[in-house]
Amino acid sequence: MRRKMNKEAGLLLDTHTLIWFVSGCEKLNPKGLQAIESAIKQRTVYLSAISFWEIAMLAKKQRIILNEPILSWLKKAIKILGLRILEISPEVAVESIDLPGESHGDPADRMIIATARLYELKLVTRDAKILEYARAKYLQIIEI
């Protein structure tokens, strides 16, 4: 069951994309940056709930350093970007284990891919395995 969010093509941010955007990281290319800014203005930027878990794990393991407590950082990111959060529904959970083709082995990335597919959103990412999956036409992406 596909759930088109609205008539405008929405964007689903991969976890690293959110971190880079909020931190002002220069790793974002101009095309990706422009797409995100446009989606923010149109209120068509989404995030999978699994990304909160990934960010919390990265911060806990000190693989990323946030300038404030994890929950405060997450709430501020939601507010600043006007993020719309997509929960891990039963449909997303099942889709994540039943993805067509050769998919990502990471469970969190599989949830993100499943969310993008079910909601017909373009996934904004630089993850090499996700980009390869998209080249096989299983997913729409914006490469950053």
For the segment 90-136, what is each residue's pLDDT rounded down to a tens digit? 999 999 999 999 887 899 999 999 999 999 999 999 999 999 999 99
- CATH 3.30.2350.10 given to domain 11-143: no
Q: Phi and psi dihedrals of 75, rounded to 5?
A: -65, -40
CB atoms within 10 A of CB 38: 13
Query: How do strand 45-48 and strand 141-143 relate by DSSP bridges?
Result: unpaired
Per-domain residue ranges of the chain: 11-143
Q: Which residues contact 101 (CB under 8 A, 6 or more apart)?
A: 133, 136, 138
Residue whose structure tokens are 């284990």: 97
Q: Give the residue from 124, 120, 115, 117 showing the smallest Cα distance to 93.
A: 115
- So what's the pLDDT on residue 9? 74
pLDDT at 1 over 70: no
Angle at 123 between CA 118 and CA 129, to 5 degrees: 100
What does the pLDDT look like over 13-55, one tens digit per residue?
Answer: 999 999 999 998 888 999 999 999 999 999 999 999 999 999 9
| Sign of the torsion formed by the C-alpha atoms of 9, 36, 82 and 89 | positive
